[in-house]
Amino acid sequence: MRNDAGFDSLFKQAISAIDAGDENRLKELLDAHSELATDRLYSPGKWLTNVIGDALNSFFKDPYLLWFVSEDAVRNKSLPPNIAYIAAIIIQKAGLEKAASLQEQLDYALKLVAWSGMASECGVQIDLLDVLIDAGAYKEGVSNDALVNGNFAAVEHLIERGAKFTLATALCLEKWEEADKLALTATNIRTVRRFIMQYGRVLLKQ
């Protein structure tokens, strides 16, 4: 079902609470309007389209409220220090409402947080990763996402939390023994070539 202007207004209020780190206001909104924790925003107003319009047509299309804890797409270039707890509030409400979308929300939120340069710069990335993983987000492959912006601390933490090494992560973290093993199991030269194309610039930045 597509949203109306009323839902867009509520969504805007909830995001304002997230941006301010206002836990009490966010809880009030979620308690009064549980759909904020379960439904996508299909029809955002100018308050959002004017800021991240391109993202709304691509990787951030039809976002859930939970995805905004990542600050990727970038709107404010900042995140409140309690953003991990803010994320936990949204997750808890979605769980209480038995949201069919919860796994999808968690999995993609983890990717967004792993990508997020702002989460890294604000010093909240690891705490956010932990909240999402503890809630059941699927972590395999996400370490490669963290490499996109050179978030090596996030990569290392994901590995510590049980994510498997990939050729990309092993090389970027200089885990040469794991890299040798993974290179040997690569199906063909295209696998290695694909790695060089995707992550060569990341390696050069180290």
- pLDDT tens-digit series, residues 39-69: 999 999 999 999 999 999 999 999 999 999 9
Q: In the prediction, which pLDDT does 69 show?
A: 98
Q: In the prediction, which pLDDT does 139 show?
A: 86
- pLDDT tens-digit series, residues 168-177: 666 665 555 6
Confidence bin at 204 (pLDDT 50/70/90): very low
Provide the domain count of the chain. 1
Mention every residue, 6+ apart, whose C-beta is less than 8 A from residue 79.
Answer: 69, 71, 118, 119, 122, 124
- pLDDT tens-digit series, residues 81-123: 999 999 999 999 999 999 999 999 999 999 999 999 999 999 9
Q: In the prediction, which pLDDT does 172 show?
A: 61
pLDDT (average), residues 123-135: 97
Is the pLDDT at 145 greater than 80? The verdict is no
How far is residue 143's CA from residue 149's CA, in Å, rounded to a whole number? 11
How far is residue 123's CA from residue 160's CA, in Å, rounded to a whole number? 18
Q: In the prediction, which pLDDT does 189 show?
A: 45
Residue 83 placed within a domain: yes
Residue 43 placed within a domain: yes
Residue 17 placed within a domain: yes
Phi-psi map region of 122: left, alpha, beta (phi>0 left; psi -120 to 50 alpha): alpha
Query: What's the domain range around 47?
Result: 5-138
Is the pLDDT at 72 greater than 50? The verdict is yes
Confidence bin at 203 (pLDDT 50/70/90): very low
Residue 27 placed within a domain: yes
Residue 59 placed within a domain: yes
How far is residue 68's CA from residue 75's CA, in Å, rounded to a whole number? 9
pLDDT (average), residues 140-145: 77
- pLDDT tens-digit series, residues 5-30: 899 999 999 999 999 999 999 999 99
Count the Cβ atoms, other than its own, within 10 Å of residue 1: 8
Residue 106 placed within a domain: yes
Q: Quick check: helix, strand or coil at residue 57? A: coil
Q: C-alpha 107: how far from its chain's center? A: 8
Residue 167 placed within a domain: no
Is the pLDDT at 188 greater than 50? The verdict is no
Residue 156 placed within a domain: no
Output the average pLDDT for the chain: 86
Is the pLDDT at 190 greater than 60? The verdict is no
